[in-house]
Structure 1
Amino acid sequence: MISGESVTTESSPRLLSHLGSTYYPLAMMGRLPFAMTVVGVLTLVVTVTGSFTDAGATSAVVGIGTAVAGPFLGMAADRFGQRVVLLASTLVHSLTLVALTVLTYQHRPVGVLMAAAFVIGASAPQLAAMSRARLLSIINLKLPSHVRSRTLNRTMSVESMADELVFVFGPVAVGVLSVQIAPWAPLVVAAALTLVCVGGFALHPTASVVRRAEHSAPTGSLRDVLSAKILVLAAGMLSIGTFFGSMLTSLTSFMDDRGAGDSAGVVYGALGIGSAIFAIAVVLFPASFTLAARWIVFALVSLVSVVFLPMIHSVPAMVAVLVVLGIGLGPTLVTIFSLGSARAPVGRSATVMTILSSAVVVGQSLLTAVTGRVVDAFGTSVSMWFPIGSVVLMVLFGLWNARIEKGIQTASLPSDR
């Protein structure tokens, strides 16, 4: 019998030996443009045009484009392979990011900007989803059975931590580049990172492994992908995205009220402290602490902290609340992705992971725009209720998921007859 400790020490080197030294740098840096885009578009348009309404609408369309096309990119990757899909989306996405930047400075009509923004969202390379699909395939295909479960838990924790960090620090990067260089810099840098890092990830040798793994077994139907057990996970991710969008916008208004609006991104980074630590710590939780229970428990941790937002009047207090919020948010994100990897139909892992990743961007885009309008109309105190509402939804979806999980377990029990 192999102890948990020996599995832990053996599993990571075995996985890394199949990935190579460039896999994680490409997979981590390639995520950053995805997290910079919504806020980068908002910052560029509002700075150049002076219209927060046009900027909010344009950034929201990015999310709509991702919602429409993201799942189809995942299905195409499952059918034709990740390499061709990633290379095509990388080229279109990078060119359109630059095109939107030029069109904005040419003061083209907002309809033109929104059309470009839709293409940006629709062509966004789904690197995070495809990275999970690759790693899942490599673990199942290459590693011995006794280390798979432990390695999968650890790997999904690292992947979710990476997502959490880029969604927190992506807006920080946008703020720094905008202030230190110019409003066009975030989108141009995002285009360059997409070409180099996502392009490199597309060409990485591991792309061929996922093709062998997915085609070694029958492919699950699209009906399975659209089942309640997957849709509840997408709903959970949507609520996390709405939190990101509403929290950043509300925090920006909060800091602007105190004459430090340009520091909002730095303060927002506090969300990543507790989030990163606890996202990694998920691997230490016992198996008796089920995924369904983790979602509810950590969503409640976020809820307990987020309700204090309307009462906060100082920056140190805001930082403290954001740190605690991250403690709940990080494990919730890890848990939902872990559930997605477990529930994905055979041959549809990229599709499911793309749906989950896209849901975050859709929620972020829509609530960035909506919360911005609320800030203009009613002020910061009212906008702070949007992050609270997002976390309430996170809890409710967690309860819905627990009910679905119970049904799945009941259906899997052997019949008495």
Structure 2
Amino acid sequence: MPGSLLFSLTGLFARLQMSMAGMGATLLIVHERDSYSLAALVTAVFALAAAFIGPQVSRLVDRFGQHRIVPLQLSVHVPAILALIFVAYGDGLEPLLLGLALVAGSSQLSVGAMIRARWSKIYTGTPLLRTAFAVESLVDEVVFITGPPLATVLALQVAPSAALLVATLILTVGSVLLILQRSTQPVPSGTTHPAPKGSALFLPGVGALAGIMVFVGAVFGSFEITTIAVAQDAGAANWTGLLLAVYSFGSLIGGFAYGAREFRAHLPRQFIIAVTALGIVTLPLAAMGNLVLLGIAAAVAGFAVAPVLISVMSLVEYIVPAKRLTESITWATGGLSVGLAGGLLISGAIVDNFAASNAYLVTSGAAVLAFVSAYLIRGVVGRAYQAAYFRGAQALQTAAL
């Protein structure tokens, strides 16, 4: 499809920021303030703001178009990040630091949701949409393989703030390039139609899937900050980016294997199987006795991540109306952000007070809770899937008349 490769590559570049920002903020605050708890709290506030305010902004994106809303987001986000860096270099002013994290998170761009909305515009109703979503999940993994090592090198070898500065520059350039590609932008629902009533979170199935993503996000958040601390305790801080990249590389392989194959099982069943696998393979992390074994366990655990993300995003796209897609996807990724914040806070407190490796129990526990919760909400998701199937069948019958 003309233009699809360009917007996907642009999205890859712009999304590099999301894999660098959390790491960059953590390394900056740990270096300047010597506190994992404060670093986790700042990152958690950012993530929570993105989770709860981001979907409201995405509703405006659905209604008025990416090209109108994105510049407004950047005009708030970039100054907030620059101010946060400035305050982090000083002493005290923790409330101001948290306030700036709140503003920056509130204006964080949902680049992944905007890219997936463009794919949905092109391939809705065809099997190619699942493939496109799988490709985007692979792009996410490439981003998370590349971003953490880059952020680590910049923060440790150039300057503590270098990772955040470069991440913000990447987001700005990538987002501007994306909104210039108007031909693939979804058609805004516009002001001529009534604004959607209520939040997309309350659409059938969306809240349940966002809830699962909370636990998946906790897996990510706890794994990231625990790995940073474990590597530093072992006197191998330079291994941090490599260990995180190994985890993401495992997820990349898992995403490729999942996306390249056609499955006979329907999407809700694929989702249950993927979450079950995540719960099982994450269990051994806390028992690894050295960084080499940890790297191997991380690669295996990472293998189960991408299939969960792909199946959730595919389900959201299938069960919601097209005009609510960006908002709905942002709620799902917002669930990730909430979990990320919780994982960071709990694991940060454990790292500051106990042996760092104990915090991997949070990672494993979150994965098990995702597995249990998926079984509890499988009926809700299944009914939403069936309702969407019947709506699609009726639409086809109507079109054939």
User: Which TM-score applies when normalising by structure 1?
Assistant: 0.86
Task: Check if 1:326 corresponds to 2:306.
Answer: no
Residue in 1 that maps onto 2:398: none
Alignment equivalent of 2:163, drawn from 183, 186, 190:
186
Distance in 1, Cα, partners of 2:219 & 2:374: 15
Task: Check if 1:345 corresponds to 2:329.
Answer: no
Residue in 2 that maps onto 1:59: 43
Residues 206-258 of structure 1: CA deviation (Å, up to 9, x unaligned): 45x41168899997643554135001111122222111110122222322332
Structure 1 position 67, deviation (Å): 2.1
| Structure 1 residues 221 and 159: CA distance shift in structure 2, 3 A | farther
| Structure 1 residues 113 and 218: CA distance shift in structure 2, 3 A | closer
Structure 1 position 32, deviation (Å): 1.4
> Residues 61 and 69 of structure 2 are in contact (CA less than 8 Å); yes or no, is this contact kept in structure 1?
yes
Which range is displaced more, 291-300 or 278-287?
Answer: 278-287
Distance in 1, Cα, partners of 2:182 & 2:385: 37
Distance in 1, Cα, partners of 2:106 & 2:364: 29
Residues 51-75 of structure 1: CA deviation (Å, up to 9, x unaligned): 3332222221111211231111111
Alignment equivalent of 2:115, drawn from 116, 131, 135:
131
| Structure 1 residues 212 and 89: CA distance shift in structure 2, 3 A | closer
Residue in 1 that maps onto 2:254: 278
Residue in 2 that maps onto 1:76: 60
> Residues 45 and 104 of structure 1 are in contact (CA less than 8 Å); yes or no, is this contact kept in structure 2?
yes
Structure 1 position 311, deviation (Å): 1.9
Residue in 2 that maps onto 1:8: none
Residue in 2 that maps onto 1:400: 376
| Structure 1 residues 221 and 284: CA distance shift in structure 2, 3 A | farther
Residues 72-112 of structure 1: CA deviation (Å, up to 9, x unaligned): 11111111111111111122212221121112223351111
| Structure 1 residues 365 and 220: CA distance shift in structure 2, 3 A | same
Task: Check if 1:313 corresponds to 2:313.
Answer: no
| Structure 1 residues 88 and 282: CA distance shift in structure 2, 3 A | same
| Structure 1 residues 154 and 253: CA distance shift in structure 2, 3 A | same
> Residues 221 and 343 of structure 2 are in contact (CA less than 8 Å); yes or no, is this contact kept in structure 1?
yes
User: Which TM-score applies when normalising by structure 2?
Assistant: 0.90
Residue in 2 that maps onto 1:11: none
Q: Secondary structure at the match of 2:187?
A: helix
Distance in 1, Cα, partners of 2:204 & 2:350: 33
| Structure 1 residues 333 and 106: CA distance shift in structure 2, 3 A | same
Residue in 2 that maps onto 1:355: 331
Q: Secondary structure at the match of 2:369?
A: helix
Indicate the RMSD between aligned Cα atoms, in angstroms. Answer: 2.4
| Structure 1 residues 329 and 264: CA distance shift in structure 2, 3 A | same
> Residues 374 and 383 of structure 1 are in contact (CA less than 8 Å); yes or no, is this contact kept in structure 2?
yes
Structure 1 position 338, deviation (Å): 0.5
| Structure 1 residues 351 and 263: CA distance shift in structure 2, 3 A | same
Residue in 2 that maps onto 1:10: none
Residue in 2 that maps onto 1:174: 151
Q: Secondary structure at the match of 2:205?
A: helix
Distance in 2, Cα, partners of 1:359 & 1:372: 20
Residues 321-376 of structure 1: CA deviation (Å, up to 9, x unaligned): 11111221111111111111111224101101111122222322332232111112
| Structure 1 residues 381 and 136: CA distance shift in structure 2, 3 A | same
Task: Check if 1:296 corresponds to 2:272.
Answer: yes
Alignment equivalent of 2:352, drawn from 361, 376, 383:
376
Q: Which runs of 4+ in 1 moved over 6 A?
A: 213-219
Residue in 2 that maps onto 1:144: none
Residues 382-408 of structure 1: CA deviation (Å, up to 9, x unaligned): 212100111112212322342223334
Alignment equivalent of 2:24, drawn from 33, 40, 47:
40
Q: Secondary structure at the match of 2:133?
A: helix
Q: Write the letter of the residue equivalent to 1:110.
A: E
Q: Write the letter of the residue equivalent to 2:140.
A: D
Residues 288-332 of structure 1: CA deviation (Å, up to 9, x unaligned): 222222222222222222211222102222122111112211111
Task: Check if 1:250 corresponds to 2:234.
Answer: no
| Structure 1 residues 136 and 45: CA distance shift in structure 2, 3 A | same
Q: Within 5 Å, give how 1:194-273 maps onto structure 2.
A: 194-206=171-183, 209-211=185-187, 221-222=197-198, 225-273=201-249
> Residues 8 and 115 of structure 2 are in contact (CA less than 8 Å); yes or no, is this contact kept in structure 1?
no
Q: Secondary structure at the match of 1:259?
A: coil
Distance in 2, Cα, partners of 1:178 & 1:18: 35
Q: Secondary structure at the match of 1:30?
A: helix
Structure 1 position 196, deviation (Å): 0.6
| Structure 1 residues 88 and 218: CA distance shift in structure 2, 3 A | closer
Alignment equivalent of 1:116, drawn from 100, 104, 108:
100
Residues 13-49 of structure 1: CA deviation (Å, up to 9, x unaligned): xx2x243x53222110111112222222222122112
Which range is displaced more, 60-69 or 182-191?
Answer: 60-69
Task: Check if 1:86 corresponds to 2:70.
Answer: yes
| Structure 1 residues 271 and 176: CA distance shift in structure 2, 3 A | same
Q: Write the letter of the residue equivalent to 1:151.
A: L
Distance in 2, Cα, partners of 1:103 & 1:314: 36
The sequence identity of aligned pairs, in percent, is 24
Q: Secondary structure at the match of 1:107?
A: coil
Q: Write the letter of the residue equivalent to 1:403.
A: G
Structure 1 position 114, deviation (Å): 0.9
Q: Secondary structure at the match of 2:289?
A: coil
Q: Which runs of 5+ in 1 are unaligned?
A: 1-14, 141-147
Alignment equivalent of 1:153, drawn from 117, 130, 150:
130
